[in-house]
Structure 1
Amino acid sequence: MIFTAENILLIGSILLFVSIVVSKTGYRFGVPTLLLFLFVGMIFGSDGFGLQFNDTGDAQFIGMVALSIILFSGGMDTKYKEIKPIIAPGIVLSTFGVFFTALFTGLFIFFLSGMSWTNIHLPITTSLLLAATMSSTDSASVFAILRSQKMNLKENLRPMLELESGSNDPMAFMLTIVLIQFIESSGMGAGQIALSFVTQFVVGGVAGYIFGKLVIFIVNKINMANASLYPILVLSFVFFTFAITDAMKGNGYLAVYIAGILVGNNRMMYRKEISSFMDGFSWLFQIIMFLTLGLLVNPHELLTIAPVAILIGVFMIILGRPLSVFLCLLPFRKISLNAKHFVSWVGLRGAVPIIFATYPVMHDVPGADVIFNIVFFITILSLVIQGTSISFVAKLLHLSTPLKEEGNQFGVELPEELNTHLFEITVNDAMLKHGNTLKYMSVPQGTLVMLVKRGKQFLIPNGSLVLHIDDVLLLISEQEKAISDEAVQKVHVEMHTDTEN
């Protein structure tokens, strides 16, 4: 069966439904949801139920659109105050870490190519190209897996890993494109290579900053009758940013990620609504992207390259990635040995390497089919081995702590423009010592009790409402900045102390 205009909605809806149902089941057993999306595509593909999809160009376009949305959404969720302490090691990992991974892995692939028992025989440039396509950690996989795990990581590891995965795709993309150009032109000068790298980084960074500031300004100034149009406006800017940056020979992936960071860290109208929209859209395109790539591959072809792919994948997990991480983090002595081991382990491959592996196919690079199949196999290997064991490794290295719940038990959110913040306090014995109603309690100036939760009941407070032990009070504060745990404790102490006096 092939995709046609008549059946694409039917087939697409079935694939989406099956993927979501399967992912819910797999999540209970710790299987990465993105891996399951990939498997669903393979099951329904040419070697499974017979759906025919073999257009590499379409797959590349879908991947480009999906990665733009995923990186922008990931940038919005990246808080500057979290990445500020680890921005230096994060950037080093996303640049030099990618380069070293590609170099070490490429040399190992070339070494294997010289063996008589292997079925791949790649020259050094093609070996390096194969390594370059999978030299970056996958942002979609890292964002999805880290944020779905019920744990919190010590030593600012989560923001560092997210910063690395969100910003290292441009380096891998540039290495891939430069090596393809090098092979096609039978060699490039060092000056041309350096100019290409500088142009991609500088134009991408500047364009991301300018367009990020521009979308913030427009959203805050424009007045549209329907608030639902604001997220769509931002989405149009995401695609515009990528397209214009790419047309100026810059790196579009870097540009949309930087624009996302700016949008997520500046005051903007309807930011919560925009964030929710982008998050949902990001998940939709992650599913579509992984399904598409699963349909594109012919699983029977993976068997022929499996032995070599396993050796390359194990080398990357055990030696290539760790060696690169330890070299890059050598100057950062405050990062513990356990943290370095964990960063080494979270070298997740995913859709990005597979998308990059389509570029050699599109350019008819000799050995491109071998490159695509090896990258696909290693992606599955990485998600199975590393993706399913992140929680276990974090606990083994004593780097995980219980995840602090975000939001509040009341499900109440306030617009950011109000410059107010919500927090909770649980009523205890001491607070009821001299009276069991709110009028006997001294709530700090600028703070009001909005709601009271008692079991499953929600009560509207007034001065005569009788409070019970373990009631949860939802308070609203006028503070300029988000109230910290210490500030909440101070309010608790003030209320406690006043009842004693």
Structure 2
Amino acid sequence: MDTNSFIFLAGILLLVSILASSLTVRAGLPLLLVFLGIGMLAGEEGIGRLDFDNSNLAFLVGNLALAVILLDGGMRTKTSTFRVALWPSLSLATLGVVLTTASVGVFAAWLLEVQLIYGLLLGAIVGSTDAAAVFSLLRNSGVRLNERVGGTLEIESGANDPMAILLVVMLTGMLQSSDHISVLSFLGQMLQQFAVGGVVGLLGGKLLLVVLRRVTLVEGLYALLIISFGLAIFAGVNIAGGSGFLAVYLVGLAVGNGRIKQLESVSQVMDGLAWLAQAGMFLLLGLLVTPSSLLSHGLQAIAIAAFLIFIARPLAVMICLLPFDFRWPERVYISWVGLRGAVPIVLALYPVIAGLSNSELLFEITFTVVLISLLLQGSTVPQVARWLKIIVPEPAAPITRFSLIDDIDSDHSLELYEFLVQAEDVRIPSAIVQNVPSETVSTPQLVALVRDHQPIVVNESTVLTFGDRIWMLLHPEDVDDVAVIFSQQASSSFILQNFFGEFAIRGDASLLDLAKAYGVSIDGINEADTAAELLQNQLGKLLVVGDRVRFGNLRLTIRQMKGNEIEMIGLKLQNKRT
């Protein structure tokens, strides 16, 4: 195939995949499944008749793509979620992978009638959740999970690759050399993977932040600088014996949570590059597989997928989350969203490249397990979240943000925000309208009101209409309060009231006064008890927005948090049947 033919086919495959993705959104199917399916259709047994069997190239592209995806995923993960999700995620990313590997390994060895070590190798290949699938589906599902669940799933998917890769490499090496690896040797390698990857990733992220703040480039080059730096860290850490996947995720985490002027434009470019990486990777992996070969062990693959989804993953999740304050619906959902995607397929190439005797069998079963996971679990992510009632309403937020002044000290940072008005008959608070710009911005300042692409003169009598765009100068800590005024106040008031309740009280409100006001028994309530303490005593210390308890005929729901402290609580009157 000549150069032009290759470029033509690559462009057509990407074009068809992207256009077909709009149909899958309507059908509720994962977008990643489209890219995989298009690749299979273009393969040697599909309509494209492309004969592709270069495992080494697929492995290289897969690793590059995963590095980009993890870098972008890290940039979109907020460090605030670490407050409630870090330790549960690490438990799932380490012990959870080992437990899944062991249970699936034993079951697969019995079902396929192969040596236990081959079963364990298959268990290790499918033992980790996939970052590309999790990031993509959670952020495009149309639902917002509470911080504890969403953060746990995202951090787990970004941190569990080192354990899975270590297990696959170790088991593959044992099959190649027949040498036995001691438990101490395995633990040493695991510690090295996490230590080198973690330290270099964190230090590399801080270094990249310094570079971004001090180097002036053409705007379009900042994203390329981040990509190139991330790939260099990824490869360098791998060469040093650490986990490049963990390192590149931490680099993205540092950049995404750092204050840089270019973050908004960089995020948009990174999002496109991450989608390109996902599309290219899944297309290539789809080309690599021969669909007819999947049928030869189709029933066994379906049985292994069912065991993984309904037994192995839930068992591992329940054990790993025992020490943590998760509600049962949250545990069930985390076990259900154990999505498998490109990572297991890329890991399945390790034994193929090593030339192991059962490598084709392992690859075919892995591919089928991924297909079933994307079809069954991936297509039900939003429905199961609604069924288990672990979603929270979308918060008010600006649609555009530009950093004007950056400083580590938030008191000296200043940003320009654009808000979209989503309600009728809303007025701008007079304190904002009357505020006169000065050298020091201490309160929110109105910059412009745009209606139908035309600037509008604003005064105290100005009434906003749906679709108006408000531009304001704000300190970052004031954004949430201002966003409520314009973005989500009236249009979603019914949803907010139904979820949080008709009234809002402060977290330090007297529990005794609350009980007397609403006719709740005061037995056992002290004068110093607060509403926040009631929630903490019943639910634990690591609370998130959306957590709720019953208090007599009241339902108390956390509405706003500041760090570990409850600031606002929603109050909803309920009858005895609800």
TM-score (norm 2): 0.77
Find the residue that maps to 1:156 and give its secondary structure.
Answer: helix
Q: Which residue number corresponds to residue 216 of structure 1?
A: 209
**2-structure distance, mates of 1:447, 1:109:** 61
Among candidates 463, 468, 477, match of residue 468 of structure 1? 463
Match of 2:443 among 442, 446, 470: 446
Q: Which of 202, 208, 214 pairs up with 2:195? A: 202
Given the alignment of the two structures, is residue 27 of structure 1 paired with residue 25 of structure 2, yes or no? Answer: yes
The Cα of 1:234 is off from its aligned counterpart by: 1.5
- The structure with the largest helix share of the pair is 1
- In structure 2, relative to structure 1, the CA distance for the partners of 1:280 and 1:415 (3 Å cut) is farther
Please list every run of 5 or more consecutive structure 1 residues that lacks an aligned counterpart in the other structure: 114-120, 494-501
Q: What amino acid does structure 1 have at the position aligned with 2:382?
A: S
Counterpart contact for 1:155–1:335, Cα < 8 Å: no
Structure 2's unaligned 5+ residue stretches are: 407-412, 490-578
For 1:430 and 1:306, the matched residues in 2 are separated by 59
What residue in structure 2 maps to residue 84 of structure 1? 83
Q: State the 1:426 CA deviation.
A: 8.1
State the 1:142 CA deviation: 0.7
2:169 equivalent to 1:177? yes
Aligned-partner Cα distance in 1 for 2:257–2:281: 28
Q: 3-state DSSP class of the match of 2:477?
A: coil
TM-superposed deviation, 1:366: 2.0
Q: Deviations over 1:5-52 (max 9, x none)?
A: 341100000000010011111111101010011000000101112101
Question: Match for residue 304 of structure 1?
Answer: 296
State the 1:192 CA deviation: 2.2
SS in 2 for 1:326: helix
- Relative to structure 1, the CA distance from residue 259 to residue 296 in structure 2 (aligned partners, 3 Å threshold; closer, same or farther) is same
**Hey, what's the Cα distance between the residues in 2 that align with 1:482 and 1:280?**
30
- Once the two structures are superposed, residues 392-411 of structure 1 have per-residue CA deviations (whole angstroms, 9 ceiling, x without a partner) of 11111111234346433xx5
User: By how many angstroms is 1:284 displaced?
Assistant: 0.3
Residue 320 of structure 1 aligns with an amino acid whose one-letter code is A
Q: Secondary structure at the match of 2:445?
A: strand
Q: CA deviation at 1:191?
A: 2.6
In the alignment, which residue of structure 2 is the partner of 1:16? 14
- Report the alpha carbon displacement of residue 487 of structure 1 after superposing the two structures with TM: 8.8
| Residue 376 (structure 1) aligns with | 367
Looking at structure 1, the residues matched to 483 and 121 of structure 2 have their Cα atoms a distance apart, in angstroms, of 53
> Match of 2:334, as an amino acid?
V
* Match in the other structure for 2:66: 67
Aligned residue runs from structure 1 range 410-429, under 5 A: 413-415=402-404, 417=406, 419-420=414-415, 422=417
Other-structure match for 1:126: 118
- Which of 316, 329, 337 is the equivalent residue of 1:324? 316
Following the alignment from structure 1 to structure 2, what is the Cα–Cα distance between the partners of residues 81 and 212? 17
Distance 1:440 1:355 in 2: 57
C-alpha contact 1:129 1:176 (8 A) present in aligned 2: yes
Distance 2:200 2:181 in 1: 27
Q: Within 5 Å, which residues of 2 pair with 1:101-112?
A: 101-112=100-111
Please state whether the residue corresponding to 1:366 is helix, strand or coil. coil
Once residues 229 and 38 of structure 1 are traced to their aligned partners in structure 2, the CA distance between those partners, rounded to angstroms, is 31
- Bigger CA drift: 82-91 or 299-308? 82-91
Indicate the structure whose relative CO is greater, using CA pairs within 8 Å and at least 6 residues apart.
1
Report the 3-state secondary structure (helix = DSSP H, G, I; strand = E; otherwise coil) of the residue aligned with 2:363.
helix
* Superposed CA RMSD: 2.9
What's the offset of the Cα at 1:179?
1.0
Please give the alpha-carbon distance, in whole angstroms, between the structure 2 residues aligned to 1:394 and 1:142: 14
- Runs of 4+ aligned structure 1 residues displaced above 6 Å come to 425-430
CA offsets, 1:272-322, max 9 Å, x none? 222222211110010000000000000000001100000000001110000
CA–CA distance in 2 between the matches of 1:416 and 1:340?
A: 42
Change (3 A) 1:193 1:432: closer
Query: Structure 2 residue aligned with 1:397, among 388, 399, 423?
Result: 388
In 2, distance between residues paired with 1:429 and 1:397? 36
Letter in 2 for 1:407: P
State the 1:445 CA deviation: 5.6
Could you list the per-position Cα deviations for residues 143-194 of structure 1 after superposition, in whole angstroms to 9, with x for gaps in the alignment?
1111011111135211211111111111111111111112222122223222
Name the counterpart of 1:96: 95
1:248: which partner in 2? 240
Write the letter of the residue equivalent to 1:448: Q
How many percent identity over aligned positions? 34
Do residues 407 (structure 1) and 398 (structure 2) align? yes
CA distance in 1 between partners of 2:243 and 2:255 (Å) = 19
User: Could you tell me which residue of structure 1 aligns to residue 268 of structure 2?
Assistant: 276
The aligned residue for residue 295 of structure 1 is 287
Q: Which moved more, 1:214-223 or 1:374-383?
A: 214-223
Which 10-residue stretch deviates more, 82-91 or 377-386? Answer: 82-91
1:415 Cα offset (Å): 4.7
SS of aligned partner of 1:400: coil
Give the 3 Å change call, closer, same or farther, for CA 188–473 of structure 1 in structure 2.
Answer: closer
Instruction: Look up the match of 1:37.
Output: 35
SS of aligned partner of 2:479? coil
Mapped partners of 1:42, 1:430: distance in 2:
52
Q: Is the 8 A contact 2:404 2:416 kept in 1?
A: no
User: TM-score, normalised to structure 1's length?
Assistant: 0.88
